[in-house]
């Protein structure tokens, strides 16, 4: 489903390049995405490698949906290394999509589709049980849009997941409502979730499962190493080795949190 955005105004991103690193910005104070020009498929930012930790729980997903394109780091990595997966990326800002070639994001094909749509609307209207892995990394110039961190949104995420499906959410740990967002995810998934703090300590990656246990024991699975090639394993192995030290369970909520 593609939305019409002719009546809306979007912040225009810009691109900077320094010492072989090309970056996407909405402001000069914060980097949205980074790419090494000589290796455009590599995951340059630590939190993106942490988001790939869903492979510890499901090393062979078939249907991946991502909210937020940015510079396409995760989309490019999955497209190159998860050859059996079909990926849909939903991005509401046409100005971001317009920079697709600047960041070497492949054209749409049978395994990759980039949709111009509202991420919250897409998740709310997609067929129930149709997604194996749902990655949420949607930010604009103000930070995390409220429609992508409401109780209703996280409820919709769970409904969209297939049995055994996984939600992966990137949160800024210094966001004033970080703990509220954590409690909302815990409410939607009955506490079956964990947060992993990424290496630079600025991002918390929440993993939540529908009918799939999300535990430290489950995160010790090594099957992913036999699925990925050498290049992908080399990028992820150090991050994955620290998961156990940087993960914590979410509280099982006693009551629903307001949206």
Mind listing the pLDDT tens digit for each residue in 230-251? 999 999 999 999 998 899 988 7
Cα–Cα distance, 25 to 84 (Å, whole number): 32
User: Among 54-58, 139-143, 162-166, 209-213, which stretch is predicted with the lowest mean pLDDT?
Assistant: 139-143
Are 138 and 32 within 8 A, CB to CB?
Answer: no
| Helix (H) / strand (E) containing 130 | none
Neighbours of 2 (CB within 10 A): 9
**6 pLDDT higher than 70:** no
The encoded tokens of residue 116 equal: 């111009």
Q: What pLDDT sits at residue 14?
A: 87
Strands (E), 68-186: 86-91, 112-116, 131-136, 161-172
46-249 — its CATH code? 3.40.50.150
- Chain-wide mean pLDDT for the chain? 90
Cα–Cα distance, 166 to 192 (Å, whole number): 10
Per DSSP, the chain holds a count of helices (H) and strands (E) of: 9, 11
Mind listing the pLDDT tens digit for each residue in 72-117? 999 999 999 999 999 999 999 999 999 999 999 999 999 999 999 9
- Cβ contacts of residue 233 below 8 Å, gap of 6+? 225
Closest CA to 12 of 84, 98, 110: 98
**258 pLDDT higher than 60:** no
Cα–Cα distance, 157 to 141 (Å, whole number): 24
Neighbours of 21 (CB within 10 A): 14
Specify the length of the chain in residues. 259
> At which residue do the structure tokens 């992908």 appear?
232
The whole-number average pLDDT for the span 210-229 is 94
Mind listing the pLDDT tens digit for each residue in 149-206? 999 999 999 999 999 999 999 999 988 999 999 999 999 999 999 999 987 778 999 9
**4 pLDDT higher than 70:** no
Q: Which residues are catalytic?
A: 137
Give the pLDDT band of residue 5 (cuts 50, 70, 90): very low
pTM of the model as a whole = 0.90
Residue ranges per domain, the chain? 46-249
Strands (E), the chain: 14-18, 21-27, 30-36, 63-67, 86-91, 112-116, 131-136, 161-172, 193-197, 203-209, 247-249
């Amino acid at each position: 489903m593609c939305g019409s955005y002719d009546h809306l105004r979007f912040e225009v991103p810009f691109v900077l390049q320094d010492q072989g690193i090309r970056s996407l910005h909405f402001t000069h104070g914060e980097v949205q995405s980074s790419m090494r020009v000589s290796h455009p498929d590599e995951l340059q930012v630590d939190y993106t490698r942490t988001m790939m930790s869903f492979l510890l729980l499901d090393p062979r997903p078939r249907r991946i949906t991502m909210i937020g394109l940015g510079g396409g780091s995760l989309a490019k990595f999955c497209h190159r290394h998860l050859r059996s997966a079909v990926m849909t990326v939903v991005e509401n800002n046409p100005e971001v999509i317009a920079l697709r070639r600047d960041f070497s994001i492949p054209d749409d094909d049978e395994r990759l589709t980039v949709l111009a749509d509202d991420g919250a609307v897409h998740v709310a209207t997609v067929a129930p049980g149709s997604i194996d892995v749902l990655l949420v990394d949607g930010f604009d110039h103000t930070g995390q849009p409220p429609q992508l961190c409401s109780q209703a949104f996280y409820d919709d995420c769970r409904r969209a997941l297939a049995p055994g499906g996984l939600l992966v959410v990137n949160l800024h740990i210094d966001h004033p409502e970080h703990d509220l967002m954590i409690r909302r995810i815990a409410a939607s998934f009955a506490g079956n979730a964990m947060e992993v703090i990424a290496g630079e300590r600025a991002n918390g990656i929440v993993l939540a499962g529908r009918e799939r246990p999300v535990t430290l024991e489950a995160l010790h699975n090594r099957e992913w190493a036999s699925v990925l090639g050498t290049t992908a394993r080399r990028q992820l192995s150090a991050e994955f080795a620290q998961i156990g030290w940087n993960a914590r369970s979410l509280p099982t909520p006693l009551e629903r949190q307001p949206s």
